[in-house]
């Protein structure tokens, strides 16, 4: 086990993500933040809080469950039944620039599932992807618009993101 990001470095990355989103936003741009369950949700809330403070106005934040949109949901090698949780988006996504947030971008399959789910909910003006960790190994032509850190890792290594809200501490480790 190797630490990729400490608590302090995670905070720096999230602030840098917020700064980059802010640089690309114009005064008339309506943005909203939507996190992919479960750790993307935590990251989205933190990002939304920083942006709301920076812009002096509440930036809407929601949570998206992609379970039913995953391409591995009926995998015969799966050992357990998937748990479907709620999508909580209390605002209209039409004509907004949606900042889709996830903890790790690896193959691109979760992002593809999230985009499918979002399109079923409305018609955003654009979807931009923000991730804490972008790692090598893409299987689909999907790239992050905003990245905290890039990691070129062998396929056998996994990136595990832990947040205080769900895991008791902030850290990103390679296992």
Establish if 12 belongs to a structural domain.
yes
pLDDT at 156: 92
Banded pLDDT at 81 (limits 50, 70, 90): low
Rg (CA), the chain: 16
Residue 73 has pLDDT above 70, yes or no: no
Banded pLDDT at 79 (limits 50, 70, 90): low
Residues 6+ apart with CB under 8 A from 168: 162
Banded pLDDT at 162 (limits 50, 70, 90): very high
Establish if 169 belongs to a structural domain.
no
Establish if 170 belongs to a structural domain.
no
Residue 13 is part of a domain; what is its CATH number? 3.40.50.2020
Establish if 133 belongs to a structural domain.
yes
pLDDT at 28: 74
Identify the domain containing residue 44 by its residue range: 8-69+85-151
Please say whether the beta carbons of 73 and 82 come within 8 A.
yes
Establish if 172 belongs to a structural domain.
no
For the chain, percent of residues with pLDDT exceeding 70: 94
Please say whether the beta carbons of 166 and 39 come within 8 A.
yes
Q: How many domains does the chain have?
A: 1
Banded pLDDT at 78 (limits 50, 70, 90): low
Establish if 56 belongs to a structural domain.
yes
Residue 75 has pLDDT above 60, yes or no: no
Establish if 168 belongs to a structural domain.
no
pLDDT at 80: 64
Establish if 165 belongs to a structural domain.
no
Could you report how far apart the first and last alpha carbons of the chain are, in Å?
5
CB-based burial label for 72 (10 Å; 0-12, 13-18, 19+): exposed
């Amino acid at each position: 086990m190797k630490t990729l990001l400490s608590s302090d470095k995670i905070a720096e990355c999230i602030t840098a993500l917020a700064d980059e989103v802010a640089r690309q936003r114009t005064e008339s741009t309506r943005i909203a933040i939507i996190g992919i369950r479960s750790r993307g949700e935590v990251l989205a809330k933190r990002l939304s809080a920083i942006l709301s403070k920076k812009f002096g106005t509440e930036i809407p934040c929601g949570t998206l469950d992609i379970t039913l949109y995953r391409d591995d949901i009926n995998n015969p090698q799966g050992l357990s039944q998937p748990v479907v949780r709620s999508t909580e988006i209390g605002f209209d996504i039409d004509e907004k620039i949606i900042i889709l947030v996830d903890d790790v971008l690896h193959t691109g399959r979760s992002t593809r599932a999230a985009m499918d789910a979002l399109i079923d909910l409305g018609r955003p003006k654009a979807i931009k992807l923000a991730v804490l960790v972008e790692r090598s190994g893409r299987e689909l032509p999907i790239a992050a618009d905003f990245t905290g850190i890039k990691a070129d890792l062998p396929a056998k290594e996994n990136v595990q993101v832990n947040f205080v809200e769900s895991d008791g501490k902030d850290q990103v480790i390679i296992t």
